[in-house]
A and B are shown apart, each in its own frame.
Chain A
Amino acid sequence: MSEKKFNLIKNCETQEETLVEFTAEEYAQAEANALALAEAESRRQAEAEALEALKVSARAKLVAGQPLTAEEAATLVL
């Protein structure tokens, strides 16, 4: 069984605190949000790795005097 999720509600005027379990709708929304975030993070990491690979290749080719592809050239800051 999945762990229960709670929202803590703090009244800043009275300082009273209440722990309220998520509603069914909140559980569903949290799951959907978590999935979307995980996918976005995977994409971000994949893009960052691809960019780093292009930069590494571009540097190596510059040193070796070899022509760069358009994608590798685009990683240079001029």
Chain B
Amino acid sequence: MTMKLISVTEISGSVSATFSSIPSIYTDLMILCSLRDNGAGAYHNLYLKFNGSAANYSNMHLYGNGSAADWSSSASEYLGNIVTGNSSTANTFSNIQIYVPDYATSKQKPFSYNGVTENNSSAAFFAFGSSLWANTAAINSFTIGNNSDAFSTGSTVSIYGITKGSGGASVA
């Protein structure tokens, strides 16, 4: 298995970021985000749209804050309150990983994600999710955003292409 960095982007100043022309040569995609926005509040919701589409998503996720844990299901492009907001401790960011297997195939696209905000108080949020984008188009772009508030300086998105190994042998 190999892991290749496709791009690293600081998205500060934008309310959303679209990553286009994603190469189709890999097996899976892994997206790592370190995010904070300028909006009031400890955390905000993050959406993820593949190929610009806000339709045909279903999510099941476990989430919690400093005092309770719960689960929910939804049929939307929103992943949960996993963007650290500007009321959180200064200079803290959320950690988010999104994994999309077989992103370039003509199958429907299941994906998983986990995210946790950072805050030196009880108002922090985490979410683990299992999702499906019920669309058979190969993914060549995705957009993340929060609708309202610009991402803060230092907010970054890294995209990796994962290539499967073969026959159990290590692949350089």
- Identify the A interface with B (CB < 8 A): 3, 5-15, 17, 19, 22, 30-31, 33-34, 37, 41, 44, 48, 52
- Identify the B interface with A (CB < 8 A): 6-7, 9, 11, 13-23, 45, 47, 67-68, 70, 72, 78, 81, 143, 145, 147-148, 150, 159
- A12 near B21 with CB under 8 A, answer yes
- B9 near A52 with CB under 8 A, answer no
A sample of 9 more A-B contacts (CB under 8 A), given A7-B145, A22-B15, is A6-B15, A7-B18, A8-B11, A9-B20, A10-B7, A33-B47, A34-B147, A37-B78, A48-B68
The main secondary structure of chain A at its interface with chain B is mixed
Residue of chain A at shortest CB distance from B161: A12
A7 to B145, CA, bound (A): 9
Given A7-B18, A12-B23, A30-B15, decide whether A37 and B45 contact each other with a Cβ distance below 8 A. Answer: yes
- A19 near B147 with CB under 8 A, answer no
- Chain B residues, CB < 8 A from A13: 21, 23
Distance of B77 from chain A, by nearest CB (Å): 10
